[in-house]
């Protein structure tokens, strides 16, 4: 695995933990960090030994406190458009990854940090996590697809309220909104993410990738088109060795041994 300036990576038994590592800036996403995330997720996509990803932030205070405001401050409108388009492409790469991505949110997830979390497949949060899209208070709107993802995940009235006020909210509220699936004590966050990742890494990897493709299309497609894609992906499962193994194991009353083929 390559070395990065702003990211830490650790691989244990088919799971990669990616830590955004700028704790002195509350892990704010600068240009280097976005470029490194882009490169790393290409590697993760290509590396068949990796079956699940955990993303978290370094230090006890922040997951990611936003895009780097010092860098934003200097941009021309033209540069801002490219920054937004590149950021969207990086987060799309995360959302469209053919392996599950878990956000382990260990503190502030604001602005670009919230948008990073929204692009992950499953989010779990520590009790001290604080979420928000405060861009409006900086004279901005979200630029890494936060307006699009949040408006699709929340009831419209709540999305409008949160984006227009820029107000932050805590982990319990995020759980109530359905934006995270679990809240843990701070010290239990990474163990909980690890346990979930281990569970997902044991599922048949090819079939997981087909399932993710079906789920990823759900937000983007008319239902009948989505159903047609689902039928094709369902049929593709029947080409995998793991489908034969999973169904044989059930019929033979034993546990399946998946080979991820």
Per DSSP, the three-state class of 109 is strand
Residues 6+ apart with CB under 8 A from 136: 163, 164, 165, 166
Minimum CB separation of residue 186 from ligand COA in Å reads: 16
- Cα gap 194→50, rounded to integer Å: 14
Q: How far is the CB of 158 from ligand COA (least distance, A)?
A: 19
Map tokens 């509220």 to a residue: 173
Six-digit token string for 88: 């969207």
Closest separation in Å from C-beta 181 to ligand COA = 24
25 binds ligand COA (CB under 6 A): yes
Whether 115 is catalytic: yes
The least CB distance from residue 90 to ligand COA, in Å, is 15
x-or-dash string of contact with ligand COA, 127-166, rule CB under 6 A: -------xx--x----------------------------
Count the alpha carbons within 13 Å of 113 in the hemisphere toward its beta carbon.
34
Q: Does 63 bind ligand COA (CB under 6 A)?
A: no
Q: Does 91 bind ligand COA (CB under 6 A)?
A: no
Structure tokens at 117: 């979390």
Query: What is the maximal distance between C-alpha atoms in the chain?
Result: 65
Q: Which range binds ligand COA by CB under 6 A, 64-72, 78-86, 189-197, 231-239?
A: 64-72
Which CB sits closer to ligand COA, 7 or 122?
7
Tell me how far apart the alpha carbons of residues 61 and 63 are, in angstroms, rounded to a whole number: 7
Compute how many residues bind ligand COA; rule: CB under 6 A.
16
Handedness of CA 130, 29, 61, 13 (dihedral sign): positive
Query: Binding residues for ligand COA, per CB under 6 A?
Result: 25-26, 28, 65-70, 108, 110-112, 134-135, 138
């Amino acid at each position: 695995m390559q070395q990065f300036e702003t990211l830490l990576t650790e691989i244990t038994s088919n799971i990669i933990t990616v830590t955004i590592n700028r704790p002195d800036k509350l892990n704010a996403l600068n240009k280097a960090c976005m470029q490194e995330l882009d490169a790393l997720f290409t590697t993760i996509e290509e590396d068949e030994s990796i079956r699940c990803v955990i993303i978290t932030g370094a230090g006890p205070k922040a997951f990611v406190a936003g895009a780097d405001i010092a860098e934003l401050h200097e941009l021309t409108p033209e540069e801002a458009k490219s920054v937004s388009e590149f950021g969207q492409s990086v987060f799309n790469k995360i959302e469209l990854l053919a392996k599950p991505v878990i956000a382990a949110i260990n503190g502030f997830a604001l602005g670009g940090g919230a948008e990073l979390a929204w692009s992950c497949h499953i989010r779990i949060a520590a009790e001290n996590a604080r979420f928000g899209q405060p861009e409006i208070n900086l004279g901005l709107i979200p630029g890494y697809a936060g307006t699009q993802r949040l408006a699709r995940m929340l009831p419209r009235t709540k999305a409008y309220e949160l984006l227009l006020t820029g107000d932050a909210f805590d982990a319990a509220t995020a759980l109530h909104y359905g934006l995270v699936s679990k809240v843990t004590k701070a010290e239990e966050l990474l163990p909980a993410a690890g346990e979930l990742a281990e569970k997902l890494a044991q599922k048949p990897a090819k079939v997981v990738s087909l399932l993710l493709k079906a789920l990823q299309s759900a937000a983007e497609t008319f239902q009948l088109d989505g159903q047609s894609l689902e039928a094709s992906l369902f049929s593709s499962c029947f080409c995998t060795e793991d489908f034969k193994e999973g169904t044989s194991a059930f019929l033979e009353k034993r546990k399946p041994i998946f080979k991820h083929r």
